[in-house]
Amino acid sequence: MASSSSSAAVEAQVEAVRTIKASPGASQFEMDTAVESPEGLKLEVTARQEGVNNNENGATSGLSNDALRQAVVNILERRLFIIPSFKIYRGVSGLYDYGPPGCAVKSNVLALWRQHFVMEENMLEVDCPCVTPEVVLKASGHVDKFTDLMVNDEKTGTCYRADHLLKDYCKEKLEKNLNLTPAKVAELNHVIAVLDDLSAEELGVKLKEYGITAPDTKNPLSDPYPFNLMFQTSIGPTGLNTGFMRPETAQGIFVNFKDLYYYNGNKLPFASAQIGQAFRNEISPRQGLLRVREFTLAEIEHFVDPDDKSHPKFANVTELEFFMFPREDQLAGKSARKICLREAVSKGTVNNETLGYFIGRVFLFLARLGIDEDRLRFRQHLPNEMAHYAADCWDAEIESSFGWIECVGIADRSAYDLRAHTDKSGVPLVAHEKFSEPREVEKLVITPSKKDLGLAFKGNQKMVVGALEAMSEKEALEMKATLESKGEAEFLVCTLGKTVVITKNMVSISMEKKKEHQRVFTPSVIEPSFGIGRIIYCLYEHAFHRRPCKSKDEQLNVFRFPPIVAPIKCTVFPLIKSPEFDDAARSIAETLTKAGISNIIDITGTSIGKRYARTDEIGVPFAVTVDSTTSVTIRERDSREQIRVDIKEVVSVVKELIEGQSTWTDVVTAYTQT
Amino acid sequence: MASSSSSAAVEAQVEAVRTIKASPGASQFEMDTAVESPEGLKLEVTARQEGVNNNENGATSGLSNDALRQAVVNILERRLFIIPSFKIYRGVSGLYDYGPPGCAVKSNVLALWRQHFVMEENMLEVDCPCVTPEVVLKASGHVDKFTDLMVNDEKTGTCYRADHLLKDYCKEKLEKNLNLTPAKVAELNHVIAVLDDLSAEELGVKLKEYGITAPDTKNPLSDPYPFNLMFQTSIGPTGLNTGFMRPETAQGIFVNFKDLYYYNGNKLPFASAQIGQAFRNEISPRQGLLRVREFTLAEIEHFVDPDDKSHPKFANVTELEFFMFPREDQLAGKSARKICLREAVSKGTVNNETLGYFIGRVFLFLARLGIDEDRLRFRQHLPNEMAHYAADCWDAEIESSFGWIECVGIADRSAYDLRAHTDKSGVPLVAHEKFSEPREVEKLVITPSKKDLGLAFKGNQKMVVGALEAMSEKEALEMKATLESKGEAEFLVCTLGKTVVITKNMVSISMEKKKEHQRVFTPSVIEPSFGIGRIIYCLYEHAFHRRPCKSKDEQLNVFRFPPIVAPIKCTVFPLIKSPEFDDAARSIAETLTKAGISNIIDITGTSIGKRYARTDEIGVPFAVTVDSTTSVTIRERDSREQIRVDIKEVVSVVKELIEGQSTWTDVVTAYTQT
């Protein structure tokens, strides 16, 4: 349980800011928390950075979070960006399809990811299976610890997430019950704040204390017990070989470390990357697209010498400045603020250069995608949120109508993962630093005399030998000094639970000089892990705008996707129905297709305004309108400006715009507007 | 069981050609066969087309199939194109990782697939989850029929595929036992030929008859029984909701038909496509990369009016000519031969234009990838290989060291899949053809008089009503005539198992004219289904070449990938160690990266010949060698020719070559060779 002082700080924030975190329980990126055993409390609700408010700044002003979400999800479903999976069979909660435009957006995001990370950083991309044998996930800790706490309706057997029920109860009380005493309010807020850190027993006690019953039936509930979130299956026909659908892609990289290190010429640092499906059998998925049972992850494992976490390209990102939310500021109840990356690393706010470099690269990636920089922050994990082995951890959080969403986790996981697989597999996953010439090192050598110890301690000999060999350098040198001055020394043997007397003949302790030709060590791993579906959902909300419709009172929807993300890059419209214009339009569309530019041709003769509106709604950035057979207009979606270009040039102009070689402003300047 | 005449034909072939088919049992593409109930025999071994022989024509001449395979797999493993998954835990059979170059090849193949099909054919791409609820796969037939027959060692429980054991036995007898009578040889060949069509009982009888025991222990075997090849799991925490990892991606498209049809403006034809993982829990995977438990499929479902299977773009492919192997030629023991696609469709060899169009497009796709056209054939399914509902089916088979491999299946599956999901879900998956003006149609109307039937048949009334309503038009009109002439008619009610007498007052039968405004029908689906991993493996074998090494007696390995497929497009080498050259090389590499061209820079100072050899082995098509700070050479991998270009032009020249805007010959002509 949390100490009272830090939980008080958290409660202060809960009351002060009321920004609800996206993920009430184990999120896609809380695996670390699930696998570790956090000792303190978890900050559940975090402060909103000042001056950043979707409802005040954007073109979406006036829309409440609920209205924004409804408007966006309405387009997403109506225009088939997403489809609830297996809809004709009433669907399965937590499973969604990407329909045609959604699928194109996803492809574009992944292509940009590959270019921005794999290509520009020379990463070694791998592609491993989803089906994973038990031993791998036993080593990683998932088999034992990747769980959520569950309760059952004692009569119907219906399953609920225990923390959800407790949280819902507390929130409802706080919202509806105006007669609560200040003490009660504080208590309920405290429960919400420490929810993620409650043990099964503590959760059970609270559920009983508050008389919480099954929401659907009001039946009594079972005690909470852990439910493993992995989809289990069986590999091969015997039923004896348990397998799981991987809950993350990272393990596929760790188990290949040895081969990848060899591939990289046995040199550090290097990074490996993987894009692929991951699976989590959520107890009761809520929050639509943000909490799903199958999703695409893009993960990077950057292996680095633990003694040298500098990064050769750090200088490229030092001047970046964006919203960061360091641990200290969170605990002090402050807001996120813009910090320069150079300063964050030099002051030690961010643990090391490599971690800082990746934070900068993630920022650039999200900005290139079209995430609003003012609704993006990097939040540092509080000590209790981090795994015990982690050196530092930052989440890229994006603000959406659900609150702040963890979309990318960037963690320095130290040597934990490679050590775990080394231990379990017996294959050393280590790196070597060859010295240019052998180095002389002093090493402590403890040599117990088993004969003398046996005579003195008989059956306890083994325990004493073990304790002597396990002494630290400091302890050993102290004992050496004592033995030399007094001939004997008192020595606590923990495994015996008592102190024994060691005499000079029982052990020889010395510092010996040895020549070493290389250093063998387990690399540290820095892991940026991207929840692609979450990033895409936030992108939809940030790209969403409304503008007044000329003719009517309604508002028109626009997705202001950057060209690189837009599912369809260009439309081709003959202005009026005419065989000549239709032919010209078809020929332009064909050339666009050959050039790899996705396009829609619409020769329906619907009014041009309607055709624009229809394609603005799915975010098509450029529209070519054919109103002559020699020159055409190109219209830009956001400014609604048009330029006139020769029909022979249209594809090359659009291609330049799409690939980012020219901006719209460049093109407007280059072509006289008519 | 097979009729004796057709199995005799097959046996003749077995003896005559001795080309072993890649997939002894249920292959990745035999789902159709598994779900249908074939009534005839399955052609297991097929004829080799004349004049096509990897060992005689290519630069790989002199290599036996085994040697070729070993040479290729050796590079694939050594250079990390593939890695046995979870290798440090001794791996899991049937699971492989793509290492860095393999992953790049896969990305390139999929990108080309998207451009060639999704983009150029305006397909609606979707992306559905792998986790699939039972009801969907119950409807598709997979839950009941997607099985292989298995036997157990009765003492140890070890599982074997029953057909494998029988086949191995027959082949071993044929190969080793020189004293077999001609009758015995014919019998064993017959068993091999009809293996896939044997029922569990028939297989069991054969295993007993031949005294086949467990290969590892010689223990007796259980009777064969079906083992479902899907990985089973449980969705959600209750354990009550069975799910499976999808065995193909097609079902995700079928269940979305209604939405996709709407998205396409309620118009036919249109195609939807999906790329994704599929899973098959093979009993005992053999043949390395060709028979795996998890693999990437790329599937197209083209929906078309069953009354009009013409294709608007068929004219684009009519003049293509390639190896085809029609059903009749197979049964007549002939070889595959080059046929012009126009002729194949006009003569009815290929069932319809749309099927023909896709065969042509698949041919173009595989040729673009670098599949040798002389080692590619389109083989038509024999009647017994096809599902009962299929109109026609062709496999693109690629010749490899394992024999002919089914890599793409192109099937006209008629209305089967949409009907199956309509029946199971109750949601009509149909298309509408609106008539420009209402059409008058005559329709049979049968109106039983329930009152009169009740009086006459009491408790059996319902059965009689049902039988009357189910009469065909012919039966009904005959009854009408009889009732009019005789006043009564005899009528067999199957559900009662007896004939009853129907009188005139009991039923009214008439043909009525109705106006219809539209036609409602279930579309046919034409399904090209690509096994991406198999195509890539065959590509490796076709791209593999050896050339003599100047200095030594050995041969150098080269993968002659087309630039579009090559995992790394370009290398950059300073000719000698020099800070200036290193800087120039780094700057070229950076520019290539920015342009999205994957490259390797090697400044190790190893001899240039060794650096070329190293990168030829992974198929890098172009090498830039920096031997001055103003101009550099570009070397082409296969011709080993070099041109000299200005250092400022190098990236644009390489980009043109990679994107296919220029060929090497164009570039050689343009730049004076030095």
* Peptide linkage before A269 cis (omega within 30 of 0): yes
- The residues in A 110-149 lying below 8 A from B, measured between CB atoms, are 114-115, 119-120, 124-133, 135-136
Integer Cα distance of B71 and B69 in angstroms: 5
HEC string of B392-457? EEEEEEEEECCEEEEEEEEEECCCHHHHHHHHHHCCCCCEEEEEEEEEEEEEEEEEECHHHHHHHH
Integer Cα distance of B59 and A331 in angstroms: 69
> Cβ separation of A103 and B233 shorter than 8 Å?
no
Average pLDDT value over all residues in chain B: 88
Strands B507-521 and A570-574: unpaired
Query: Considering chain B, what percentage of its residues have pLDDT values greater than 70?
Result: 90
pLDDT for B155 equals 93
pLDDT greater than 60 at residue B20? no
As a whole number, mean pLDDT of residues B659-674 equals: 85
Residues of chain B contacting A124 with CB distance shorter than 8 Å = 99-100
Q: Put the strands of the sheet holding B321-325 in their side by side order.
A: B124-126, B270-279, B294-304, B524-531, B403-412, B392-400, B376-380, B321-325, B337-340
> Cβ separation of B245 and A102 shorter than 8 Å?
no
Most B CBs within 10 Å, among A76, A89, A429, to test the B interface:
A89
Residues of chain B contacting A100 with CB distance shorter than 8 Å = 124-126, 260, 263
Residues A360 and A350: beta-carbon distance below 8 Å: no
Of the candidates B89, B125, B255, which has its C-beta nearest A104's C-beta?
B125
Query: Confidence class of residue B60 from pLDDT cuts 50, 70 and 90?
Result: low
- The residues in B 422-441 lying below 8 A from A, measured between CB atoms, are 424-425, 427, 429
Residues A139-155: pLDDT tens digits? Answer: 999 999 999 999 999 99
Of the candidates A98, A127, A243, which has its C-beta nearest B103's C-beta?
A127
pLDDT greater than 90 at residue B22? no
pLDDT for A60 equals 57
pLDDT greater than 80 at residue B18? no
Query: Considering chain B, what percentage of its residues have pLDDT values greater than 90?
Result: 72
Residues of chain A contacting B126 with CB distance shorter than 8 Å = 83, 97-100, 103
More confident residue, A49 or A412: A412
> Cβ separation of A126 and B114 shorter than 8 Å?
no
pLDDT for B287 equals 74
Closest B-chain CA to A134: B89
**C-alpha distance across the termini of chain A, in Å:** 70
pLDDT greater than 70 at residue B81? yes
pLDDT greater than 60 at residue B244? yes
The answer to whether residue A533 neighbours chain B at the CB level (below 8 Å) is no
Query: Confidence class of residue B47 from pLDDT cuts 50, 70 and 90?
Result: very low
* Peptide linkage before B215 cis (omega within 30 of 0): no
pLDDT for A195 equals 87
> Cβ separation of A429 and B106 shorter than 8 Å?
no
Distance from CA of A508 to the nearest CA of B (A): 39
Strand partners, B644: B633
Least confident of A297-311, A561-575, A592-606, B351-365: A592-606
pLDDT for B247 equals 97
pLDDT for B459 equals 86
Of the candidates B80, B159, B256, which has its C-beta nearest A97's C-beta?
B256
Count contacts between A and B (CB, < 8 Å).
Answer: 216
With both helix axes pointing from N to C terminus, report the angle between A579-594 and A650-658 in degrees, rounded to the nearest 10: 40
Residues B13 and B176: beta-carbon distance below 8 Å: no
For A347, counting Cβ atoms within 10 Å of its Cβ (0-12 exposed, 13-18 middle, 19+ buried), the class is exposed
As a whole number, mean pLDDT of residues B115-136 equals: 97
More confident residue, A45 or A643: A643
Choose the most confident range, by mean pLDDT, from A170-174, A315-319, A386-390, B22-26: A315-319
Neighbours of A531 (CB within 10 A): 26
Q: How far is CA B359 from CA B115, B323, B410, in A?
A: 17, 11, 7
pLDDT for A493 equals 86
Residues A288 and A84: beta-carbon distance below 8 Å: no
pLDDT greater than 90 at residue B122? yes
Residues of chain B contacting A160 with CB distance shorter than 8 Å = none
Closest A-chain CA to B123: A100
If phi > 0 it is left, if psi is from -120 to 50 it is alpha, else beta; for residue B352 that is beta
pLDDT for B383 equals 83
Residues B424-433: pLDDT tens digits? Answer: 999 999 999 9
pLDDT for B360 equals 98
List phi, psi (to 5°) of A164: -60, -45
pLDDT greater than 90 at residue B472? no
pLDDT greater than 90 at residue A63? no
Least confident of B2-6, B295-299, B547-551: B2-6
- With 0.95 as the threshold, say if the pTM is over it: no
pLDDT for B61 equals 54
Please tell me chain A's helix, strand, coil percentages from 3-state DSSP, rounded to the nearest 5.
40, 25, 35
Average pLDDT value over all residues in chain A: 88
Strand partners, B233: B243
Integer Cα distance of B464 and B456 in angstroms: 10
Of the candidates B236, B282, B283, which has its C-beta nearest A281's C-beta?
B236
Please tell me chain B's helix, strand, coil percentages from 3-state DSSP, rounded to the nearest 5.
40, 25, 35
pLDDT for A209 equals 94
Least confident of A276-285, B194-203, B410-419, B611-620: B194-203
Integer Cα distance of A218 and A153 in angstroms: 8
Collect all residues with Cβ–Cβ distance below 8 Å to A630 and sequence separation of at least 6: A646, A647
As a whole number, mean pLDDT of residues A490-507 equals: 88
Residues of chain B contacting A278 with CB distance shorter than 8 Å = none
If phi > 0 it is left, if psi is from -120 to 50 it is alpha, else beta; for residue A476 that is alpha
Residues A230-289: pLDDT tens digits? Answer: 999 999 998 889 999 999 999 999 999 999 999 999 999 999 999 999 999 999 887 778
CA atoms within 13 A on the CB side of B284: 13
pLDDT for A109 equals 98
Of the candidates A98, A129, A133, which has its C-beta nearest B126's C-beta?
A98
Query: Confidence class of residue B469 from pLDDT cuts 50, 70 and 90?
Result: confident
Query: Confidence class of residue B15 from pLDDT cuts 50, 70 and 90?
Result: very low
> Cβ separation of B231 and A128 shorter than 8 Å?
no
Cα B377–chain centre separation: 14
